[in-house]
Amino acid sequence: MEFQHKPVMLKEVIGSLNIRPEGTYVDGTIGGAGHSSEIAARLSGEGKLYGFDQDAAAIEAATKRLEQYKDRVSIIRSNYSEMRERLSELGVTSVDGILLDLGVSSYQLDDAERGFTYRTDAPLDMRMDQRQSLSAKEVVNGYSESELTRILRDYGEERFARNIAKHIVAEREKHQIETTGELISIIKAAIPAKAREGGGHPAKRTFQAIRIEVNRELDVLSDSLDGMIDMLDDGGRICVITFHSLEDRIVKDTFRRNENPCTCPPSFPVCVCGKKPKGRVITRKPIVPSEEETEENPRSKSAKLRVFERKII
């Protein structure tokens, strides 16, 4: 199966990055290189693009797609959380732009064997990095009822979290839950029939929650953004595309805090904490896909793009 992933808001991303031909850029989630190929095309021989991804299939696809730009592109198999360390090893300490596209790729969703989708029966997996040990199977069969309730509630915003967790635990006492199909049946049994009418697939929120837990997506994002902003040169920009409210909240709050880091009480006439702004938020409201794009690519519907520009004082 060929790795394909239609880049979301491509024009908006390229415009927001303010690409300089001789600049240094990082795509922290290179995927099928849809965004990266456009960035690389705008670089001169002096420019450089570093692409990160933890998925072996993505690395292979990106390498192939960026073959014509191999003189200015380096691809690294690693999570973007290790960006600073891995770039430092290559002698890179600052960059002009960073892109994170946090969506699950179409390839990952459509490849049934990866276990990301609730549309086909497949082994429970959901690992973006096949080298890691924790998979959806371990989460579903090994987490306590209270832990399952927490992740379904916090990461999936699932209102029937407690009942779904209860049903999972009851079912796995009979036998180990092995496939997405088995999990979907359990979820359906745990949600009242009336609540299953409309609102999309009943397993959508649970699958999202388990995927986030397996890949530590929210922890990785919140732990990485400040360091990425620190890596930006003066005038450099970081662009982040999110696909659900939890990610978007982390990005929005982090960008705002870096624009206005002062922790002094509002009653203080002047700032005494000494914390200086690191730049400014470019997107007061997130950029969203056009109607035309959402019709062409329905998976882009929930996407939001936020942009922060570094200003070194």
CA distances from 294 to 107, 288, 299 (A): 18, 10, 7
Percent of the chain's residues with pLDDT above 90: 79
The stretch 10-24 carries a mean pLDDT of 97
Rounded Cα gap, residues 213 and 139, in angstroms: 8
What confidence category does residue 109 fall into, taking pLDDT thresholds of 50, 70 and 90?
low
Rounded Cα gap, residues 30 and 99, in angstroms: 9
The stretch 11-23 carries a mean pLDDT of 97
Rounded Cα gap, residues 96 and 1, in angstroms: 34
Angle between helices 56-65 and 34-41 (to 10 degrees): 30
pLDDT over threshold 80, residue 101: yes
Rounded Cα gap, residues 3 and 20, in angstroms: 29
pLDDT over threshold 60, residue 2: no
123: buried, middle or exposed (CB in 10 Å: 19+, 13-18, 0-12)? middle
User: Where would I find the H helices in 143-232?
Assistant: 145-154, 161-172, 180-190, 204-215, 217-231
Phi and psi torsions of 281, nearest 5°: -80, 125
Q: What confidence tens digit (pLDDT) does each residue in 167-198 have?
A: 999 999 999 999 999 999 999 999 998 888 77
Taking the whole predicted model, whether its pTM rises above 0.95 is answered as: no
Domains of the chain as residue ranges with CATH: 10-107+217-310 (3.40.50.150), 129-215 (1.10.150.170)
Q: Which conformational region is residue 62 in: left (phi greater than 0), alpha (psi within -120 to 50 degrees), or beta?
A: alpha
Q: What is the pLDDT of residue 281?
A: 98
Average pLDDT, the chain: 92
Place of tokens 């960059």: 95
Q: Please state the length of the chain.
A: 313
Q: Could you tell me which residue, 173 or 6, shows the higher pLDDT? A: 173
CA distances from 3 to 87, 214, 295 (A): 26, 21, 22
Contact status, residue 94 vs residue 231, Cβ threshold 8 Å: yes
Q: What confidence tens digit (pLDDT) does each residue in 76-86 have?
A: 999 999 999 99
pLDDT over threshold 90, residue 4: no
The neighbour count for residue 38, using CB atoms within 10 Å, is 16
What confidence category does residue 105 fall into, taking pLDDT thresholds of 50, 70 and 90?
low
What confidence category does residue 118 fall into, taking pLDDT thresholds of 50, 70 and 90?
confident
What confidence category does residue 152 fall into, taking pLDDT thresholds of 50, 70 and 90?
very high
CA distances from 186 to 175, 191, 202 (A): 13, 9, 11
Rounded Cα gap, residues 307 and 291, in angstroms: 21
Q: Is the dihedral of CA 267, 273, 276, 277 positive or negative?
A: negative
Token pair of 81 as six digits: 């959380």
Rounded Cα gap, residues 277 and 285, in angstroms: 20
Q: What confidence tens digit (pLDDT) does each residue in 44-82 have?
A: 989 999 999 998 888 999 999 999 999 999 999 999 999
The stretch 208-224 carries a mean pLDDT of 95
pLDDT over threshold 90, residue 299: no
